[in-house]
Structure 1
Amino acid sequence: MSARLVTSLTAFFLVLIARGAFAAEVQVAVAANFSAPMQKIAADFERDTGHKARLAFGSTGKFYAQIRNGAPFEVFFAADDETPAKLEKEALAVSGSRFTYAIGQLALWSSRPGYVDDKGEVLRQGAFAHLALANPRLAPYGAAALETLNRLGLQAELQPKFVLGENIAQAFQFVSTGNAELGFVALSQVTEGGKLKAGSAWLVPPALHAPIRQDAVILTRGTDNPAAQALMKYMKENKARAIIKAYGYAD
C-alpha cells in the first residue's frame, strides 16, 4: 500500500471519528403541514452533519401545550409565528433563535380529478356533504381556512358541513380517504416539485387570509445541544431552502 493511500485513508477515518465524536441528537416538534419536507431535510441533515433529528409531527396548539407541560422537545417548527414568539416571552425558548423558515400556502383540495375548479366556485355551489379543515383553535391552517370562508361570506352556510381534523394532516386524511369530498389543506401536502400529485385543487389567494408565517425556535431544553444549533443553521442553507420551495412554500 502506498504512503499516499495510507495518508488518505488515515485522514478519512479521522474525519469519521471526529464526526462521530461530535454527533448529537435533537428532539424536534414539527407542525403537521411540514411533515414531508422535514423528513427529507432531516435525512440530508444527518448525512451532511452526522447529527440526527428525531421528529414528532402534530398540531401547533397541542405542541404548545405539551412544551408548557415539560415535553422533551429541543427545537420547534410551528405552523405560525405567534406560538414561538409566545414561548420566547414565557422563557421556554431561546431568545433570538426564532426565524421564519417557511410561508405556508392554503389550498382547497379534492382527491377527485376535476372536482375543484381553479377559482374555488365549488364552495358556492355547495354540492357536497363534508368540508374538511383543521381545527382553527389548534392549527393555523384551520384558522386561515375559516378566515377565507369568512371573507367569501360562506362560513355560516358551510359550517354544518365542517369535518374538523385535530391538525392539517388529519384534515388531509379525511379528504384523501373520501370521508370528505373536499377540504382545506396545506399546498405542501398535495404538491411536489411544483406539480399537483393527485386530484384537483384551488390555490387560495393570499389576500383571503393572514399570511401563514411559520417560525422555528430553539427551546430552552436545546440551549446547549450542538445538534439544535446545527439544525437551525442548516434550515437557512440553500439545500434545505430548495426542498422547502419544492413543496409549495413561498419565500
Structure 2
Amino acid sequence: MPLILMILLLFSLHLHAAPPVRIAAAADLQLALPNIEKVFKETHPDSNISITFGSSGVFTSQLRQGAPFELFFSANSDFVQLLYNEGHTLDAGTRYAFGRLAFYTQESLVADSASEAITLWHQQARSSHKLSIANPQHAPYGMAAIDWLQRWSLEEQLKPRLVLGENAAQSVQFVLSGAARSGVVAWPLLASRQDLPGLAWLIPESEHIPLEQKMVLMKNAGPTAQRFYHFMQTETAKKILIDHGFGAP
C-alpha cells in the first residue's frame, strides 16, 4: 500500500474512533476501580473508558450543571437521590458497596480498637500534630469521620488540629506525606496496600453514619457505560471491591 494511502487510512480510523466514556468516581475507588476496568476490558477490548476520581459532592454539583459524565459512582446514596429527584439520571441508581472508615496513624500506638487508638493519640501526640479527614462539606467520608469523632466526644477538642482533604484520597495522602500525623480516612485506600507505613484500625460500621455507596447512569449514558454499570453488579466486580476493603452491597 502506498505510504500516502496508509497515512490517510490511519487518519480516517483516528477520526472515527469512539470518544471515551467519561465516568465520575468517588475517590475511595482509586485503587479498586482500575482493577475492575481491567477485567471488564478482557471481554470488552474495544471499550474506551476515562475515569475521573474526586469528591462525590463536587461531582454532584458538576453533574447538576451538565458535566458530560455518563456514569457516576458516589460514596453515599444522598447525592444520587438528589440527581434522580432533579431528573438528571436514568433511574434511582444501584448500591455497589458500603464504604469503610479507618483510623490511620504514623505514631507508635498500642491499641485494640480505633476508638482506643484515637483516644491515646489525642492524649499523647503533640498539639502540633494534625488529624486528616476529607472535607465534610462535600465528601461523604468526611461526614462519616465527623460523626465518628462526635460519638467519642472528640470533635470539638480536635477541631483546631483538623486538616481537610478535598476528597478521600487526599486525606490519606496528607498522612502519607506528613502534612498530618494521623487521619480518619477511607479504609479501601489502605486495605490492599502491601507497602503501607504506619498503623491502621478498621472502624466498626456501627460507630458512624452508613456509607451506602451508589452508582447511577446519567441521562446521556451510552451502551458502553451501561455495560460497565451492569458489570459492576457481577460477582467478579463485587469480589474485587471486597478485596479492596469495601463492605458487600
Give the TM-score band, short-chain normalised.
Answer: 0.7 to 0.9
Deviation at 1:111, TM superposition (A): 4.0
Gaps (5+ residues) in structure 1? 1-20
Matched residue, 1:77: 73
Cα pair distance change 1:189/1:116, threshold 3 Å:
farther
Q: Deviations over 1:47-76 (max 9, x none)?
A: 221323210000001101111112110000
User: Are 1:40 and 2:39 matched, yes or no?
Assistant: no
Alpha carbons of 1:116 and 1:37: their partners in 2 closer, same or farther (altered >3 Å)?
farther
Deviation at 1:24, TM superposition (A): 7.5
Structure 1 segments (4+ residues) deviating >4 Å: none
Taking only the aligned residue pairs, the percentage that are identical comes to: 35
CA distance in 2, matches of 1:133, 1:116: 22
Aligned to 1:172: 172
Q: TM-score, normalised by structure 1?
A: 0.84
1:145–1:184: 8 Å Cα contact kept in structure 2? yes
Alignment of 1:43-54 (within 5 A): 43-50=38-45, 51-54=47-50
**Correspondences of 1:1-251 after superposition (within 5 Å):** 25-50=20-45, 51-96=47-92, 98-111=93-106, 114-115=108-109, 117-120=111-114, 121-125=116-120, 126=122, 127-128=124-125, 129-192=129-192, 197-222=196-221, 225-251=222-248
What TM-score comes out, normalization by structure 2 length? 0.85
What SS does structure 2 have at the residue aligned with 1:86?
helix
* 8 A contact 1:31–1:77 mirrored in 2: yes
RMSD, aligned α-carbons: 2.0
CA contact (8 A) 2:103 2:118 kept: no
Question: C-alpha separation between the residues in 1 aligned to 2:110 and 2:118?
Answer: 9
User: Bigger shift: 54-63 or 23-32?
Assistant: 23-32
Aligned equivalents of 2:139, 2:199: Cα separation in 1: 23
Q: Is the 8 A contact 1:190 1:198 kept in 2?
A: no
Cα displacement string for residues 2-43 of structure 1 (whole angstroms, at most 9, x for unaligned residues) = xxxxxxxxxxxxxxxxxxx9x874210000011110011112
Matches of 2:219 and 2:156, distance apart in 1: 42
Helix, strand or coil for the counterpart of 1:76? strand
Question: Which secondary structure state, in structure 1, belongs to the residue aligned with residue 34 of structure 2?
Answer: helix
Matched pairs, number: 226
- Deviation per CA, 1:117-153: give whole Å up to 9, x if none: 3323232231332000000111111000000000111
